[in-house]
Amino acid sequence: MRTCLICRARSATNLCEACADELDTPPAFVPEQILSGALRPLDAALLDRWGRLHRLEAQTAIGRVPVARGVSIMHGVVSRQHATITRSADGAWAITDRGSSNGTRKHDHPVGPSEPLAAGDRLTFGAIGLYFVIDDGRLVDATPDEIASVTVRPESGRPALGLVEQGDPDDDTFSGMPTVELTFLEAPSGGGGYLDVRNRRVQLTDTQFELLVMMARRMCDEAAIASIVRGFVPTGQLIADLPWDTHAPSENHLKQLVRRVRKALELAGIGNLIESRRGFGYRLRVIPASTP
């Protein structure tokens, strides 16, 4: 049993499930899309959601193009030359955005010309999150078995319906999401309903049903907004507007609800339709073909 490198709780990998869920992860994203190489690694690394360590040099470039040295994140949300992490002569670490199309954030705040880094900082490159960690000499990389155990979790970003984002792999901008026909059917007797997606049906409780309907409507209403931020429903709005069966719903109730819906979708063979992003809320991972 390991210890989570972020919260120090006991964990099966270098990153516990709770801390992994804080990282932005687009649909259909897999460990093989992050590659790294360091000829002269120093005392820091980037930690991905699978618990893998990507060692850093005195100057480490981060971008979409595979390179022999640096960190390559092969996804349309990441620019060719996205950001740089550097270590100064006094041992301080900092990150700089290199004019990327979708931006670099530290704890949901945009990174400017030079932003200092501290152990445990959550970094987001476009829509892909990693943690910055300091190597105290005891860091051990994740084993293949540990990586495999994370990728099968419903929250790990498995693709919805086997679909992937479409777009020109040479573009620097977010490549968009697939458009899918979603059919929402209210139960004749009231209380919940059904979601039909490509000949797959899942039965949902009233609160689960309304959660998906709210996100589908928001995605349709924001057709003119950039795909990377389109369709998010803030956590506060979901807590306030959903038909809860408790008098005092909280963020914890919402997280449990999302986990139950994800599980139901997985069991129905639909896949993980829900994306969460800290500071934005929740949204669908597909664009409905029509407004519900």
Specify whether 101 is located in the same domain as 192.
no
Rounded (10°) CA dihedral 58, 143, 76, 290: -150
Q: At residue 170, does pLDDT exceed 80?
A: no
Q: How far from 101 is each of 5, 59, 179, 268, CA to CA, in Å?
A: 30, 21, 23, 36
Do 124 and 197 belong to one domain?
Answer: no
DSSP code for 190: S
User: What's the CATH number where 189 sits?
Assistant: 1.10.10.10
Q: Is residue 169's pLDDT more than 70?
A: no
172 versus 282: the higher-pLDDT residue is: 282
Based on the domain organization, do 181 and 218 belong to the same domain? Answer: yes
Last residue of a domain, one of 126, 156, 186: 156
What pLDDT does residue 252 have? 83
Residue 60: inside a domain: yes
Residue 95 lies in a domain: yes
Please report the pLDDT score of residue 167 as a whole number. 38
> Looking at the structure, do residues 93 and 198 belong to the same domain, yes or no?
no
For residue 58, tell me if it sits in a domain.
yes
Residues 8 and 128 in one domain: yes
Q: Which long-range contacts (CB under 8 A, 24 or more apart) does 83-89 make?
A: 83/111, 83/125, 84/59, 84/60, 85/44, 85/46, 85/56, 85/59, 85/60, 85/117, 85/132, 86/58, 86/59, 86/60, 87/42, 87/44, 87/56, 87/57, 87/58, 87/59
Q: What is the C-alpha to C-alpha distance for residues 60 and 71, in angstroms, rounded to an integer?
A: 7
Examine the fold and report which residue of 97, 127, 156 is the final residue of a domain before the chain moves on: 156
**32 and 77 in a common domain:** yes
The answer to whether residue 169 sits within a structural domain is: no
- My answer on whether 242 and 198 are in the same domain is yes
Query: Residue 11 is part of a domain; what is its CATH number?
Result: 2.60.200.20
Query: Do both 48 and 152 map to the same domain?
Result: yes
The answer to the question of residue 165 being in a domain is: no
Q: Are 56 and 48 in contact (CB under 8 A)?
A: no
72 pLDDT tier (thresholds 50, 70, 90):
very high
Same domain (yes/no): 133, 272: no
| Residue pair 6/123 in contact by the 8 Å Cβ criterion | no
Higher per-residue pLDDT: 109 or 241: 241
Distance CA 132, CA 125 (A): 12
Q: Give the model confidence (pLDDT) of 104-124 as tens digits.
A: 999 878 898 899 999 999 999
Instruction: Give how many domains the chain has, as a whole number.
Output: 2
Strands 128-134 and 179-180: unpaired
* Same domain membership, residue 191 and residue 137: no
Report if residue 163 sits inside a domain: no
172 located within any domain: no
The one-letter amino acid code at 172 reads: D
- 176: confidence class by pLDDT, cuts 50, 70, 90: low
What CA–CA distance (Å, rounded) separates 176 from 167? 7
Q: Supply the DSSP symbol for 113.
A: S
Q: Which of residues 121, 156, 191 is at a domain's end? A: 156
Instruction: State the residue range of the domain holding 38.
Output: 2-156
Whole-number Å distance between alpha carbons of 96 and 115 = 6
**Ranges of H-type helices in the chain:** 17-21, 144-151, 206-221, 235-241, 251-267
pLDDT digits (tens, 9 = 90+) for 178-227: 889 999 999 877 678 999 998 899 999 999 999 999 999 999 999 998 88
Comparing 24-28, 40-44, 45-49, 211-215, which segment has the lowest mean pLDDT?
Answer: 24-28
Same domain, yes or no: 10 and 150: yes
Q: Does residue 185 form part of some domain?
A: yes
Radius of gyration of the CA atoms of the chain, in A: 20
Could you tell me the CA-to-CA distances from 241 to 8, 9, 210 in Å, in that order?
35, 34, 9
Same domain, 148 and 263: no
CA distances from 55 to 28, 70, 73, 90, 284 (A): 24, 9, 14, 19, 33
